Amino acid sequence: MAVRTMQRQVLLFTLFFCFCSVTGQVSYSIPEEMSKGSFVGDISHDFGLDLKRLKSGKARIYTGDSAEYIELNRERGVLLVKDRIDRELICAQTAPCALHFQVILENPMEFYSITVEVTDVNDNAPIFKRGEMKFKISESVNTGTVFMLEQAIDLDVGVNGLQSYLLKPTDNFVLKVQNQADGSKLVEMVLQKPLDREKQDHLSLVLTAVDGGEPQLSGILITVLDVNDNAPVFTQKTYKATVTENSPKGTVVATVTASDADQGSNSKITYSITNTLDNVRKMFYVNEENGQVSLIETIDFEKSKRFQINLRANDDGG
């Protein structure tokens, strides 16, 4: 008999729990990096809850498995910042960025759903992983030849994120910037005026990354080679490949090939990945000798459906 009674109690509790619904919903918006104790919202007013009810119902915040960045002050019926909120750490490049949680009351059980949008502030300047980019370009290179530049990284989003690039001086080269499907910008330098080694055997340019705050600089040093020196050229401008989800580490995705008209040691080509977005470097590796691009991590289709890998070919001449 005791067993039957216990079964009924469990059944009644289960039915009670399942039929509880969210009593109310409200949304707030706050900037990231607010100090601890900062005001977020007044749930007592917004949900029409009496302060006595918050105390008697043992009101508390439930976040599931996620960290608690917001706390409830029962005496005042308000939400406050509990811990430092770094939008870039919580959401990376995802926008909008929001915290979702519930306020739960007992006797009777009530659920109130709350969303706190965390807006971006310009607390990250764009950075170049390398302070200087070096190119060795033959004076015989045709105008219109394109040279890929390193992208800057900016952890902020929207108007606070990376907005544009500037290249100075523009006597021989102009800047070409293309928006990519993943939201990044492909930055290229295009030769518009022929190089003349006899007049100038070295060029110094400055690439500037601009966001809503302080612009950041990266130097570009160009060595002009004699007409008999040649830079390696890829056999294709774009390589396309397909890889299945959960392919094992080490799977070869594609093989790129560049050719060099030089002879001897200057004809030895090495390959490298120039992407500055961390997810590409973490997922892919290129064999510097044979140009094979392979996986170093397992791909999750739900997280990323497309990757763009930027590659560079160098010879021993630079």
Give ∠ CA 185-139-217 in degrees, rounded to 5.
35
What mean pLDDT value characterizes the chain?
82
Name the superfamily (CATH) of residues 2-119.
Cadherins (2.60.40.60)
Q: Give the HSE-up count for residue 312: Cα atoms under 13 Å, Cβ half-sphere.
A: 18
The pLDDT value recorded for residue 92 is 82
The pLDDT value recorded for residue 292 is 94
| Amino acid sitting at position 315 | D
The pLDDT value recorded for residue 3 is 35
More confident position, 239 or 306: 239
Neighbours of 233 (CB within 10 A): 14
| Amino acid sitting at position 120 | D
The pLDDT value recorded for residue 68 is 86
Q: 55-64, 123-132, 170-179: which range is least confident on average? A: 123-132
pLDDT at 7 > cutoff 70: no
d(CA 139, CA 196) in angstroms, rounded, equals: 6
pLDDT, tens only, 132-178: 888 888 888 899 999 988 888 888 877 777 888 989 888 999 999 98
The pLDDT value recorded for residue 9 is 40
Confidence of residue 75 (pLDDT cuts 50, 70, 90): very high
The pLDDT value recorded for residue 73 is 95
Q: Could you tell me where in the chain the CATH 2.60.40.60 domains are found?
A: 2-119, 122-229, 230-318
Confidence of residue 267 (pLDDT cuts 50, 70, 90): low
List C-alpha distances in Å: 90 to 69, 152, 159, 254: 10, 21, 19, 34
pLDDT, tens only, 183-205: 778 899 999 999 888 888 888 88
Q: Give percent of the chain above pLDDT 70.
A: 83
| The token pair that represents 98 in the structure block | 């929001």
pLDDT at 288 > cutoff 70: yes
Q: What pTM was estimated for this model as a whole?
A: 0.56
Per-position DSSP letters for the chain, written without gaps between them: -HHHHHHHHHHHHHHHHHT--EEEEEEEEEETTPPTT-EEEEHHHHTT--HHHHHHTT-EEE-TTS---EEEETTTTEEEE-S---HHHHHTT-SSEEEEEEEEETTTTEEEEEEEEEE--S----B-SSSEEEEEEETTPPTT-EEE-PPPB----GGGS--EEEEE--SSEEEEEEE-TTS-EEEEEEE-S---TTT-SEEEEEEEEE-SS--EEEEEEEEEEPTT----EES-S-------TTPPTT-EEEE--EE----GGGG-EEEEE---SHHHHHHEEE-TTT-EEEESS---TTT-S-----EEEEETT-
d(CA 183, CA 126) in angstroms, rounded, equals: 15
pLDDT at 8 > cutoff 60: no
- Name the CATH architecture for the domain at 230-318: Sandwich (2.60)
Q: Considering the domain 122-229 in this protein, what is its CATH number? A: 2.60.40.60
- The average pLDDT across 263-268 equals 60
- The average pLDDT across 199-218 equals 79
| The token pair that represents 222 in the structure block | 């160009």
Give ∠ CA 146-257-219 in degrees, rounded to 5.
35
The pLDDT value recorded for residue 60 is 93
Q: How many angstroms from the chain centroid is the CA of residue 181?
A: 13
pLDDT, tens only, 14-31: 333 444 456 789 999 999
- The average pLDDT across 30-53 equals 93
The pLDDT value recorded for residue 5 is 34
256: Cβ–Cβ under 8 A, 6 or more apart, which residues? 234, 236, 239, 271, 286, 291, 293, 311, 313
The pLDDT value recorded for residue 71 is 94
The pLDDT value recorded for residue 201 is 85
CB 49 within 8 A of CB 77: yes
- The average pLDDT across 73-90 equals 92
